[in-house]
Every structure is written in structure tokens, then in C-alpha cells.
Amino acid sequence: MTLIKFVEWQNVMAYISDAEFNRKKKIYPAMISKKMNLTYAHLIKIIKELKLLGLLDTVKEGRTQRITLTNTGKIIGANLLQIRGELKTCKQIVRTQSGIKL
């Protein structure tokens, strides 16, 4: 796995986790592709890969698919959100102590 692929996966997982946990929204591929500036086809490829890993599931609703996290995906997504929150806090501490823009 390449670093770029890993970053894309974790960005998609973090977005879906945030939408499910914090905003209680239904998540659709078109919505993610617009928000993350990914082509729809590329996003579908990422979703398929995450499904194979057992992190996501899709539910067909008419002509569209709704994306949900599996139990494993919820655990990983919660950890991703926690890590991102801690990194944001560290970044703010460093910024205030050193006056450096990060």
C-alpha cells in the first residue's frame, strides 16, 4: 500500500466517521466526492477497497447507495477522530508557544 492510498483511506474514513458520529447524517458517495474534491469514480474505488477490508458497508436506497460503518469501521473511525483532535490540540499548543504558523 502506498502512502497516498493510506492518506486517502483515512481521510474518507474520518469524513464518514465524523458524519455518522457527530452530525448523524446519512452519507452518500456523491456527497463525499464533492466535499473531498475526489472524482466519483475514484471515490467508488476507495469505498470498494474499504468494504473489502470490512470497514464500510453500503445499503442500496433506490438508485443510490448509502454508506455505513461496520462495527470495526466505527472503532477505527472513532480512533481516527480522536487522533485528529489530539493533533489539532498539539498544533495549537506549538503555535501559541513558539509563534510559528503551522
CATH of the domain at 70: 1.10.10.10
Cell numbers found for residue 19: 458524519
50, pLDDT greater than 90: yes
Give the whole-number percent of the chain exceeding pLDDT 90.
48
Count up the domains in the chain and report the number: 1
Question: pLDDT tens across 14-45, in order?
Answer: 889 988 887 777 889 999 999 999 999 999 99
| 92: containing domain | 3-98
**Angstrom distance (rounded) from CA 44 to CA 41:** 5
101, pLDDT greater than 70: no
CB 81 within 8 A of CB 14: yes
The helix or strand, by DSSP H or E, that contains position 34, with its residue range, turns out to be: helix 29-36
DSSP letter at 32 equals H
pTM of the model: 0.78
